[in-house]
């Protein structure tokens, strides 16, 4: 078994890591990808000139996904069955009045 790192040739960004049998090493790469033997962390490392190097703190920060802001009216909340039943009874009473 070989540990492998698949990365983008231009940017050095690690796109996949894992392990495979020797016969499968390098199978299925696209023309933009390259593979080297070894282990790496795709969040904190990249491949430059065939060597694993650490990303700068700025690169790591830039690649972090931006948090999605959920409007208050669409945020989930916890309602007990008792609370729901009370709300439904109040709605039913209001509908009977109209």
For the chain, the structural domain boundaries read: 2-63
> What mean pLDDT value characterizes the chain?
92
Q: 33-37 and 45-48 as β-strands: parallel, antiparallel, unpaired?
A: unpaired
User: How confident is the model over 12-29, as pLDDT tens digits?
Assistant: 999 999 998 888 888 889
| Cβ atoms 52, 38 nearer than 8 A | yes
User: Residue 84 has what pLDDT?
Assistant: 96
The residue with greater pLDDT, 98 or 42, is 42
- How many CA atoms are closer than 13 Å to the CA of 53, on its beta-carbon side? 12
pTM for this model (two decimals)? 0.65
As a whole number, mean pLDDT of residues 32-39 equals: 94
């Amino acid at each position: 078994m070989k540990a492998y790192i698949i990365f983008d040739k231009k940017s050095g960004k690690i796109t996949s890591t894992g392990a495979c049998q020797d016969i499968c090493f390098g199978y299925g790469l696209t023309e933009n990808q390259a593979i080297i033997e070894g282990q790496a962390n795709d969040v904190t490392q990249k491949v430059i000139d065939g060597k694993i190097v650490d990303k700068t703190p700025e690169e790591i920060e830039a690649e972090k996904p931006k948090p999605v802001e959920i409007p208050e009216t669409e945020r989930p909340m916890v309602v007990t069955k008792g609370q729901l039943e009370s709300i439904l009874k109040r709605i039913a009473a209001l509908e009977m009045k109209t």
